Structure 1
């Protein structure tokens, strides 16, 4: 049973919503954030990456960054950029790009559901990144970016969403990257109660993206419980901001790899070694090779594409992690042949989200890298199977696109 409840959102005014909303903090560095927010005092990057309002020499984890984030958020509230809804509502948030759209419900989910694994995870968090968001949430006393959750199809929930999306939206704007963002406010409390009850029939929610934000929100909630030992469990700090999409709406894009060198092998030697685990076929088609099914890969080296097909016996198809294409490539090629033991720490490998296109792989292979691998995308069912098994996905397994924006909804913890 999943606990999903309404909340009194702080939301930007209709006139400013398109200027406030920004991509999540973790998809850009500080210099990129400065450039994006330049000339826009309403940009939510002044909250999510507040170091842009300090000297560049200030470390991004400095206490002054979190103090500035809190200051900027409170100023946006005090000056009327943000207004608070008078009652707890739920919201519908639709993201549309390139003919694909996903429509989810914005609400608050329970830190206890996270702790008790009703909200399932598939990724480990890094201590430094988690601590950063703990400080950010703590100083701002707010969840400033929604956790991206998913659930298995529920016809009753979808029916309510369909009903409300036929009404006039509260926001409807297109961001500079061409993604359309549309929001409806579910201000009928009967429908809010109905959705709350429907989610009680949902066995599990799954984190699609935002593991660090989720973990930090839970840690701050537990910290508040220690600060207020008489808590009832109904306080806002017991819940965190989420946008919850049905699984059939989500699209995972390929997450491709580029490698700096061949580990001392000639191209002929490399292919000979790869042939022990893969069938290698010279690609004769036009343009780059994009894998069309699981367990196939593209390899680009010295201006040519090759199709790799994993041989039977090179993976365990009964293991949800070992049978992932990212695992097959790592276990049979990147590690034993190219010597990349840990892709999370190696400086010989880089990762390129599918949104950048396969031409980016060719560009990198001709510039600072030597070879590239195109991947077949991980599926939502793969993600759920791994989370259900209590296992962890390899790093850089999923790239979700389009991404929910931060700043459209703020959930205050008091």
Structure 2
């Protein structure tokens, strides 16, 4: 049973929301970031980049404290306003090819600890601790964790009914996306949503593993500090965007390697031949279309690699995952890349925008070989999580990516 709760979000005033909300800080080039900060006094980027006000670079606890101060200033200036009543928030994002719609809610840390909220990636304890410190000092979270769940008719119908009303927010952004937000404050509807999620066996983290783990760590620490802990405190929950699995969009990450580990191209191809059936496609742009098929670009030519299944042992869901197959058959034994997280010989690039990146990145001279995969399916992701397994890093690029500063959750 999944536990979700309405909460009193802090959010931009209706007249300023288009100016306030921003993409992830890392999504901007330095020039774009500078322009936003110079010419938009309302952007949320001023909150998370507080040193800009003083023309200084700040980091660590000092930065977190300044983030907290900028956040309070936005509240004092009525740029941010906290809702008076707890609410669920229906958020829809529409772009040229996709529409995403789900519910922003408070989800339970206890559900995460008891594996009702399931993960498919490992987290790094150093990053968990860093973001926990950030949450504790700033006192708020502005980026929901993206959770997915099996499509539910009751929840879908509630969303459809609410979308017939006038949205609280409706604005477009320069990336040609339309954003809408509806508030659900009616107690009967809130109860229907809460009961519907109680019937759902599991929620799956699609994006935000470190944010979830950090929220759990924060909850543990604040619980120990609070002698009057009741279990109802805000720190027992974290903000999530819950979206039906049919509405999720997963694309792949390609892999690029700087060298062939001392092998010539011919020697490399001969070693690949033991595990793959190889076809030289020449200049033909080749993209795999089936599981266990890979594309490879080497020395100006495309190759298709088909796994010889009699030479590979499938033992569990992880062993059947293409990113893991590539690691077990090529990256580790042939190219000598054992640690996929901390190795500067491997680079990952999501293939959503540049369909010929496999060629262009290798032809640039930065990499010797590139590998293309097909996207992971939702069922594969769920199977990994259900079996308490962990995908290799950069296996999934999942949409939607959410804007910061649209709804904020205070601890």
Q: Same fold judged by TM-score > 0.5?
A: yes
Deviations 1:148-203 (A, max 9, x none): 11111111111111111222222222323233322111122211111011110011
Corresponding residue to 2:341 among 308, 329, 344: 344
Deviations 1:200-232 (A, max 9, x none): 001111111111111111222222212222121
Distance change in 2, residues 1:260/1:217 (3 Å): same
The residue that corresponds to 2:164 in the other structure is 166
Corresponding residue to 1:106 among 104, 107, 112: 104
Q: Equivalences for 1:3-402 in 2 at 5 Å?
A: 3-25=3-25, 33-34=33-34, 36-50=36-50, 52-53=52-53, 57-58=57-58, 60=59, 62-283=60-281, 286=284, 288-367=285-364, 368-402=366-400
What is the root-mean-square deviation of aligned Cα atoms in Å? 2.0
Distance change in 2, residues 1:65/1:260 (3 Å): same
Distance change in 2, residues 1:246/1:300 (3 Å): same
Post-superposition offset of 1:31: 8.0
Deviations 1:114-151 (A, max 9, x none): 11111111111122322221121111111221011111
Q: Which consecutive residues of structure 1, in runs of 5 or more, have no partner in the other structure? A: none
Post-superposition offset of 1:71: 0.8
Post-superposition offset of 1:57: 4.9
Secondary structure at 2:167's aligned position in 1? coil
Deviations 1:63-87 (A, max 9, x none): 1110111011111111111111110
Question: Retained in 1: the 8 A contact 2:17–2:406?
Answer: yes
Post-superposition offset of 1:332: 0.4
Question: Retained in 1: the 8 A contact 2:123–2:209?
Answer: yes
Distance change in 2, residues 1:123/1:47 (3 Å): farther
Distance change in 2, residues 1:164/1:393 (3 Å): same
Q: Distance in 1 between matches of 2:321 and 2:51?
A: 38
Secondary structure at 1:68's aligned position in 2? helix
Post-superposition offset of 1:105: 0.5
Distance change in 2, residues 1:113/1:32 (3 Å): farther
Q: Distance in 1 between matches of 2:245 and 2:153?
A: 12
Q: Distance in 2 between matches of 1:64 and 1:31?
A: 25
Secondary structure at 1:218's aligned position in 2? helix
Deviations 1:338-363 (A, max 9, x none): 11111211111100012232333322
Q: Distance in 1 between matches of 2:54 and 2:280?
A: 52
Q: Distance in 2 between matches of 1:86 and 1:161?
A: 22
TM-score (norm 2): 0.94
Secondary structure at 1:214's aligned position in 2? helix
Q: Which region of structure 1 is more displaced relative to structure 2, 119-128 or 189-198?
A: 119-128
Q: Which consecutive residues of structure 2, in runs of 5 or more, have no partner in the other structure? A: none
Distance change in 2, residues 1:280/1:55 (3 Å): farther
TM-score (norm 1): 0.93
Q: Which region of structure 1 is more displaced relative to structure 2, 22-31 or 269-278?
A: 22-31
Distance change in 2, residues 1:399/1:314 (3 Å): farther
Question: Retained in 2: the 8 A contact 1:106–1:241?
Answer: yes
Secondary structure at 2:349's aligned position in 1? strand
Secondary structure at 1:283's aligned position in 2? strand
